[in-house]
Every structure is written in structure tokens, then in C-alpha cells.
Chain A
């Protein structure tokens, strides 16, 4: 769905309040308007917001896996998969060793929620999409499982579900034959909560917030410290930034 379509829907939602139950022509019900009138007063994802995360790798411990465990629990990534290469991982811990100096780093790697996401560009059906607030998500209703986005992602952030699932979290549907990745815990963000990984980090190494809001903690911190975008040369303008690498 593209931007004009969003606008069209927003307009319809407003018009719908007055037009509830309107019968456009005999036998044709304006469902669009009818349901819009019943819709609760919720705020929609807004383009004024740009969700982002700053990871302080100096605080991140190599032997700690708390973010991964929290993610798996929140999003119910609990299925037994025989081949570890076929297992979904939305966030993973990467240990880095600088080749010249031997300097070590550890950091969580997940979907970087790019402003210019290659996965969205290459998706043949438009199932990979970017929400107004910058979240890069997969519409599993129209994902055909071609895996082109996995070829295109420079961060290897996406997983393909190789087997039928039965243990989904009701709030985070997942299923066989579709591609999936970190959503910044969209189901939590929309309730005003932090992503599960951020909340679980015992070191407080992950800072989540609105990059567009000058008063947010993350925006202030990004003004103070030197931060890096991974593979910055690709100019994808990532939502996740790293400090200390």
C-alpha cells in the first residue's frame, strides 16, 4: 500500500463517521465507512516519529545473551528446528575481533530499520514495507516466500520460516513459508512500551526512542557521543546506531 492509499484511507475514516451505515447503492454496503465509524480513537503510526536505537557496545558483554532470550520469549521464537542454519534469529549476538589489533567487541545485530531499506525495494509484491514511523515490517498476508529480501539485506537480518509453526504469540503472528525479522517489538511500541531486548539488557546498553524528538534521551545522546551506522557507505540511513565500534 502506498502513501496516497494511506491518505485515501485516512480521509475515508473521517468521512466514515458521518456516513456510518450509508447504503451507497442497493445491495452494496460501504464496509469501509461502516467499520471506520466504529473504530476507536487510536493514534496511528505517525511520520513525525522515527524510531531508532543506540547500542553502546562498550557495555555489551560477550557472554550475555539476555536480549536474544527476551526477543525469543516476546515473539515466541521457541520452535525446535533440527538444522541450526534454518532457525529464525531476529536478534543475534555477534562477537568481533579486530584483525590487526585483536580488540574485541560484542554487539546485538538485528534489522537496522533503514530509511532506504533494500528489502522493501526488491520485494516483488510489496510485502516488505516501511511504516510511517520508520519500522520495516513484513506483511505476511502477501509475502510469497521468494526470499529476495534475504538476498538484498546487507545485515543478514532476515530469517525464513522453514517449518509449520503452532506456538505463535497471539500478538506476533509468524508462519511457514514467509520471511520475518525484528519489528522493534511493534506490538509493544504501539502500547507505549520499549522493545523486549532493550528492557531486558542488564547493562542498559540499548537505548530506544524517537530520533526525531529533540528532547528524547536517544536524540540527546546521539548529539553527545560518536556513533556509527553499520555499512554506512551504503547510505541506507539506519535506525539502529552503534557506539564504541
Chain B
């Protein structure tokens, strides 16, 4: 690389890093504003207690766990094509997990008490488990990256990858169980939520990985080998299909239970924004459109179709989480079945939620943090997935 283009590249890097840092700083500023004025400046209230920051945070944490799947297929199941991608997957996992945690912690009513959260752990709380699972995940991913990047540690990459694989399944089970263990509200209390979160993590994580990989290849003027593209495309399609299956099972069981039909009617038919986001956002944009891009003859080999599909899956993921978290809270608790309840505390009424600017900025700040960490990471260390096609073909790894 000559001097001029190296300078141009450096300029681009600093521009991107500065952009990410700016978005992150605005997000943290928004959180400080919320901290100073209290949550009165948010759209959240005593019924919608978790709002948009939680949608962003849970997306980041779930996708962080799922993106590591790419690495696991390499290290645990020994697929060479995925091994070259393990380092980037590890970095993305680290960045998104950190960003998601920052968003959750900054949204706390008493964000200044992070030390309290770290030193007082109630082990009957699913949140309490997560206080152990998250730091553990950081440690394991750190060690795993070390075994992937330092030559004398290579032999340990398989056990480290296996540990990360197991830990990540526990982590996402923990995230899903935050909701799955709630008996109070109609939308949650289902054992299917934990496995559903795991499969969602696979789909969202791989979608994020595809987008980031594409950006890095564009930067370096590289293209993904069609065979590898094909394999990743099919894998992502399987994950999207599996998410569809779990969501269908979740809603079908609910529809079968008489006590849940009112809630299902709300989410799927007359709940305003929520059915719109469910059918339009999650099903059409986030599931059917990507599947069409993956499989329709005219579209599947189109340039950029996998990247576009990945972006649509991410959009669909946000719609799905919005419906799941906020829709689930907007529907009133059924405290007195068979009776209509009214009160000054909005019993029996469907709640309205409009996210305020600080909440939106905090959520975007989380994306900014993940983005900045990734940009800096790929700049200072070697994360670019480079395939040795000749070697792969010789080993038959492209068709195994």
C-alpha cells in the first residue's frame, strides 16, 4: 500500500471512530440528563416500566451471544470456513455485550449504584444470575480471543471455544428467562421464551456478522467467495425459519389457552402499533423478505442481497422486541378475571407509550458504543476474515 492511500485510509478510520464516539457521547449525555431529572423525562411510567432502552439493550445482548455462534461452528464443530471468522465474531460479541450492558445500567433509576449491583447479588433473581453470567462471558470471550490470536495459545482454542459455546447458551437462557419467569403478566410466563431467545440470538448475531463482514470487505476491496457466501446464506435462512417456528409456537399455545386469547387478540389484531409491527415489521420485513432474498431465483445471486436481507432481519428484530417487551407491558394485568376493572392507576386499560428523545438517544448511544469498539478493534488488531480458497478447496472444506 502506498503512502497516499494509507493516509486516506487513516483519515477514514478517524472519521468513523469520531462518528461512533460522538453518537456514544450523546447517548451517555442523554443518560446523565435522565439521571438528573429522574425518569419523568422518559415515556416510561408505572405500567410500561421498561421501554426503548431495554429494546436496544436486549437486542445488543442477545445478538452478542448469537454472533459468537460463527466462532463456535469453527472451534467446536471444526468447520474451517468458520474458523477464519472466529476472531471477528469474538470481537463483535465483546463489543455488543459491553454496549448492551452500558445501556441497561445507564437506564437504572439509580445508575450511580452500580457498585451496589455488583456487591449485592440475590441468587434467586434471574437478574442476579445475569450479574454472574455477563462478567463471565467477558472473561471467557477474552480468553477465547487470546487463544485465537496468539500462536502458542492455538491448542487451547478448542476448549476455550467450547466453554464460550456453553456459557453463551446459558447467557441467552438467562436473558430469555428474565421474561419467562414472570407469572404476573399475560405476555410472559412461558418456558418456550428461553429457547426462543437462543434461536433469535443465532439469527440476529449472524445477521450483524454478515453486515460487518460486508463493510470490512468493501473497505479492503475484497469479495466473499460465492461458495462461502452460499453457506452463510443458507445458515442464516435456517435461523430465520427457526425463529419463525418458535414465534408461531409461542402464539399458538397462547391462542389455545382461553385466558390468553384477549392478549393475543391485542397483540395480533387490534393493538394498534403492535400488530402493525408484528405483521409488517417482524413477519414481512424481518422474515418473509429476507427469505425471499435468500431463495428466489432472481434475487438470491443478486449482488448485496445477503447484506440487504441481514439488514432487514435486524429491522425485524427490533420490531419483534418492541412488540414483545412494550406490547407485553401495555396490555393490562388481569387481576380480576371475568370483571372489568377501572382505577386512577389505569387498571384494566391499555397503556400508551411514546419514547422520549433521551431514551432514543440512549439506545442509539448503545449502538454507537458497539460500533466504536468494533471500528477501533479491527483497526488495531487483525480481525479481517481472509479465506485461503485454494487450500479450502484442496481440503474439500467448501463442500463439507
Contacts and interface: CB of A to CB of B under 8 A. Distances in A.
- Interface of A, helix, strand, loop or mixed by DSSP: loop
Contact of A151 (B50, B121, B347): B50
B398 to A, nearest CB: 47
A169 interface: no
A114 B109 CA distance: 25
A121 interface: yes
A99 B35 CA distance: 43
Interface in B69-112: 108-111
A105 B342 CA distance: 11
Contacts of A143: 109-110
Nearest to B117: A144
B339 A98 contact: yes
B49 A125 contact: no
Given A85-B45, A178-B110, A230-B335, A163 B40 contact: yes
Contacts of A142: 113, 116, 120
Given A97-B340, A118-B183, A177-B108, A146 B38 contact: no
Interface stretch (A13-21, A22-30, A33-41, A86-94): A86-94
Contacts of A126: 120-122
Nearest to B181: A122
Interface in B11-60: 35, 37-40, 45-47, 49-50
Size category of the binding interface on chain A: 35 or more
B46 A124 contact: no
B297 interface: no
Contact of B184 (A118, A127, A159): A118
Interface string B111-152: 101101100111011111011000000000000000000000
Contacts, number: 169
Contact of A122 (B39, B111, B126): B126
A89 B345 contact: yes
B346 interface: yes
Contact of A86 (B40, B109, B121, B339): B40
B338 interface: yes
A193 interface: no
A84 B344 contact: yes
Contact of B338 (A99, A154, A159): A99
Contacts of B351: 85
A160 B344 contact: no
A177 B110 contact: yes
Nearest to A68: B344
B238 interface: no
A206 interface: no
A163 B37 contact: yes
A99 B334 CA distance: 13
Nearest to A158: B46
Given A89-B345, A96-B341, A146-B109, A155 B335 contact: yes
Contact of B342 (A94, A98, A121, A159): A94
B273 interface: no
A57 B180 CA distance: 34
A94 B348 CA distance: 10
B185 interface: yes
A179 B335 contact: no
B45 A144 contact: no
A122 B342 CA distance: 28
Contact of A179 (B109, B122, B128): B109
A89 B341 contact: no
Contacts of B40: 81-83, 86, 162-163
Contacts of B110: 143-145, 177-178
A226 to B, nearest CB: 17
Nearest to B184: A154
A145 B109 contact: yes
Which 10 residue pairs across A and B have the least CB separation, nearest first?
A145-B109, A177-B109, A124-B127, A85-B45, A154-B184, A147-B49, A125-B120, A162-B40, A126-B122, A92-B345
29 contacts: A86-B46, A89-B46, A94-B335, A94-B343, A96-B339, A105-B339, A109-B345, A122-B126, A122-B127, A124-B121, A124-B128, A124-B130, A125-B122, A142-B116, A144-B113, A144-B117, A145-B111, A146-B127, A148-B127, A152-B184, A153-B184, A154-B183, A154-B184, A160-B46, A160-B49, A164-B37, A176-B109, A177-B108, A179-B109
Interface of A: 81-89, 92-100, 105, 109, 118, 120-127, 142-148, 150-156, 158-164, 176-179, 230-231, 234, 245
Given A122-B127, A144-B113, 17 more contacts: A83-B45, A86-B39, A96-B336, A118-B182, A121-B124, A124-B121, A124-B131, A125-B116, A144-B109, A144-B117, A154-B333, A156-B345, A158-B46, A160-B46, A162-B45, A179-B109, A231-B335
